Chains A and B, each alone.
Chain A
Amino acid sequence: MEKVANPVQAYAKALIEVGGQDERIFCLTADLMHPFMIEEFALKYPDRFFNVGVAEQNLMGIAAGMATCGKIPFVHTYTPFMTMRSCEQMRTDVCYPCLNVKMAGMCSGINMGVGGATHHSIEDIAILRAIPNMTLLSPADPIEIGKAVHAAAKHVGPTFIRFGRIPAPLVYEEGSNYPFEIGKAITLREGKDVSLLATGLMVSRALAAADLLAKEGISVRVINIHTIKPIDQSAIIKAARETGAIVTAEEHNIMAGFGAAVAEVVVENYPVPMRRVGIEDTFCGLGPTEEMYQRWGLTAANIAQAARDLLKSRSAAAKA
């Protein structure tokens, strides 16, 4: 049985840690203190906690204003609202002047399954990637969420942390001391036949897919791309060169998403066959989250199948 942990709890714990270390850190939310489990921050540092009610545009604008005065606001709301309701404030007030605002986006992907499309976010990577000065973190598991929060607090500039809401499988051991560096992908498993490049929750599924493929004698490299922007070009090019085939996996629309970001690097530097696993440009309806992942093709089996298809077409092409 795989170990799981609560991503939100991990986030909130890290926020308390960085908030205790740095008095410039403020915590802002739009009526989502409880879902983000940031009550402790509110109790411990009430003079640095502001709840603006359900008003995301104001939320982001206030954060920008605070940042001009040397504060480091962490802004909390669900990813679909952060990236779409307050998109312009994020782009114009925060990123254009490159202000030091941190954005914590929960309910990324279809993680809030029963919420339906209003509470899903399958567009945010596309939106955030296109905004200059933005750094986009997409940690693989709750352990890495903690590391991302610490890294974001130290990094100077707009930083978005994308994560889910429901308990997620652990990729890393509790207390793991591995180095986390913004923009530097982590190779979790070496392999030579194909590379699985995954981000966020899909990293654990890519590892499970690699297990399935290993049983068939396929040697799989698994890379955790926890920073979608700036993306680690050298890790991608190296994977393309050394394995000759890439499968990407994301909890997002495959259009203009993570796989597309990888494809840009591959096509311009070392073209190899690719497959993208993700949501295929559709709204996803609603349902219990795990059933939603099955329904919309976001499982280890889906990733493994994409790898098999890719290797098959590659060998067919080689024979032709």
Chain B
Amino acid sequence: MGTLSKEKISFLKQKAKKIRKNVVEVLSQTSGGHFGGALSAADILAALYFEVMKIDPKNPCWQDRDRFILSKGHISVAKCAALADVGYFPYEELLASYNKLGSPYGMHEDMTKIRGCDMTAGSLGHGLSAGIGMAIAGKHDQKDYRVFVMIGDADLQEGSTWEAIMAAAHFKLDNLVCIVDRNQIGVDGFTEELMGLEPLAQKFQDFRWQVKEIDGHKMEEVVATLKAVPFAKGSPSAIIANTIKGKGVSFMESNHHWHFGVATKEQAEAALAELEKGI
């Protein structure tokens, strides 16, 4: 694994910053949105779309592309910000129409409406199974694309996700990567108080996955780990990315009230200022 240049890391950090700012800009225009989880996932999204994934924004249906499924579909706004920035559609379109009647862009995502969206999402616990289907199809067709599935803590509280975790190892899908955006917080508070998931890495290992645990905000580590998949031939790869809900905005960080929140004009301005200069 080659190390990335300082310029490249700096570029990806700028892209992550842009995703965060765009998330705040889009959501603060509406009657509320999922700020916390969108901000926690931004670094990973930047790494995927601007460095790791083999994609062609001019040809969203390219059969050999890497796939990305956002199982935590409620942060579609962050993914759409990335899709726009990488060239699938103009950001202005997202900003102008988000959550509006008939818009392709909104709280959750519809693959038939959003260019570059590989799977419809919104209900938790669905994404990993769909990813298995794509991974099996890829193996069958002898294609070398990878399938990246981002799940949130809450996806792991759904039983269906564990059905998929069991099956992915059974089918030896080393073209499947599950990224856990482990921000530790759900709607009602901390996952470990609500319904504990730990020891999570051990659980994945016990289900015969290869697992790496990383700091989901340290860009060098995020990219290096994503580029190191599969961690072992014949096994699916899990990346538990420890993240901070609301990352980058002081009053949103680690605060479950910002899982879904409504930002006032002042709060939105403060958030954008903090994101710009860094906290």
- The answer to whether B130 and A92 have CB atoms under 8 Å apart is no
Which chain A residues numbered 33 to 73 have a C-beta less than 8 Å away from chain B? Answer: 47-48, 50, 52-53, 55, 57-58, 60-71, 73
- In the assembled complex, which residues on chain B have CB atoms less than 8 Å from the CB atom of A96? 110, 120
Complex CA–CA separation, A71 to B141 (angstroms)? 10
Which chain A residues numbered 91 to 116 have a C-beta less than 8 Å away from chain B? Answer: 92-93, 96-98
- Chain B CB within 8 A of A232 CB: no
Render B173-196 as a binary contact track against A, CB cut-off 8 A, 1 for contact: 000000000000000000000000
A-B contact count (CB 8 A): 101
Which chain B residues numbered 95 to 138 have a C-beta less than 8 Å away from chain A? Answer: 110-112, 118-120, 122-123, 125-126, 128-138
Query: Which chain A residue has the least Cβ–Cβ distance from B164?
Result: A58
Complex CA–CA separation, A36 to B122 (angstroms)? 33
* A52, A58, A66, A97: the one within 8 Å of B134 (CB): A66
- The answer to whether B132 and A61 have CB atoms under 8 Å apart is yes
- Chain B CB within 8 A of A211 CB: no
How far in angstroms is the closest Cβ of chain A from B211? 20
Query: Which chain B residue has the least Cβ–Cβ distance from A23?
Result: B140
Complex CA–CA separation, A147 to B126 (angstroms)? 32
Which chain B residues numbered 142 to 168 have a C-beta less than 8 Å away from chain A? Answer: 159-160, 163-164, 166-167
- The answer to whether B133 and A65 have CB atoms under 8 Å apart is yes
- The answer to whether B134 and A61 have CB atoms under 8 Å apart is no
Do A92 and B133 form a contact, CB below 8 Å, given A58-B164, A61-B160? no
- In the assembled complex, which residues on chain B have CB atoms less than 8 Å from the CB atom of A58? 129, 132, 160, 163-164, 167
Name the prevailing secondary structure of the A interface residues. helix
Complex CA–CA separation, A68 to B147 (angstroms)? 12
- Chain B CB within 8 A of A89 CB: yes
Do A50 and B136 form a contact, CB below 8 Å, given A65-B131, A89-B126, A97-B120? yes
* A61, A67, A69, A70: the one within 8 Å of B129 (CB): A61
Do A61 and B126 form a contact, CB below 8 Å, given A55-B163, A66-B136, A96-B110? yes
- Chain B CB within 8 A of A88 CB: yes
- The answer to whether A70 and B160 have CB atoms under 8 Å apart is no
- In the assembled complex, which residues on chain A have CB atoms less than 8 Å from the CB atom of B170? 53
Among B120, B129, B167, residue most surrounded by chain A Cβ atoms (within 10 Å) = B129
How far in angstroms is the closest Cβ of chain A from B107? 14
How far in angstroms is the closest Cβ of chain B from A108? 24
- Chain A CB within 8 A of B171 CB: yes
- In the assembled complex, which residues on chain A have CB atoms less than 8 Å from the CB atom of B118? 68
- The answer to whether B163 and A69 have CB atoms under 8 Å apart is no
The size class of the interface chain B forms with chain A is: 20 to 34
- The answer to whether B137 and A53 have CB atoms under 8 Å apart is no
Among A58, A60, A68, A96, residue most surrounded by chain B Cβ atoms (within 10 Å) = A58
- The answer to whether B171 and A92 have CB atoms under 8 Å apart is no
- The answer to whether B163 and A68 have CB atoms under 8 Å apart is no
- The answer to whether B123 and A92 have CB atoms under 8 Å apart is yes
Query: Which chain B residue has the least Cβ–Cβ distance from A61?
Result: B129
Query: Which chain A residue has the least Cβ–Cβ distance from B158?
Result: A57
- The answer to whether B110 and A66 have CB atoms under 8 Å apart is no
Among B118, B125, B137, residue most surrounded by chain A Cβ atoms (within 10 Å) = B137
Query: Which chain A residue has the least Cβ–Cβ distance from B135?
Result: A65
- The answer to whether B130 and A64 have CB atoms under 8 Å apart is yes
Complex CA–CA separation, A164 to B71 (angstroms)? 35
How far in angstroms is the closest Cβ of chain A from B110? 7
* A61, A66, A69: the one within 8 Å of B164 (CB): A61
* A47, A57, A67: the one within 8 Å of B133 (CB): A67
Query: Which chain A residue has the least Cβ–Cβ distance from B165?
Result: A58
How far in angstroms is the closest Cβ of chain B from A8? 25
Complex CA–CA separation, A68 to B135 (angstroms)? 11
- The answer to whether A68 and B119 have CB atoms under 8 Å apart is yes
- In the assembled complex, which residues on chain A have CB atoms less than 8 Å from the CB atom of B119? 64-65, 68, 93, 97
Measured CB to CB, the residues of B under 8 A from A are 63, 69, 110-112, 118-120, 122-123, 125-126, 128-138, 140-141, 159-160, 163-164, 166-167, 170-171
Measured CB to CB, the residues of A under 8 A from B are 47-48, 50, 52-53, 55, 57-58, 60-71, 73, 88-89, 92-93, 96-98
Given contacts A65-B137, A92-B120, 20 further A-B contacts (CB under 8 A): A50-B136, A53-B167, A58-B160, A58-B163, A61-B128, A61-B130, A61-B133, A62-B164, A64-B119, A65-B129, A65-B136, A66-B136, A67-B133, A68-B111, A69-B134, A69-B141, A70-B137, A73-B133, A97-B110, A97-B119
Q: List 28 A-B contacts (CB under 8 A).
A: A52-B167, A55-B166, A57-B125, A57-B159, A57-B163, A58-B129, A61-B128, A61-B132, A61-B133, A62-B136, A64-B119, A65-B119, A66-B133, A66-B136, A69-B63, A69-B133, A69-B141, A70-B63, A70-B137, A71-B133, A73-B133, A88-B123, A93-B119, A93-B126, A93-B130, A97-B110, A97-B119, A98-B112
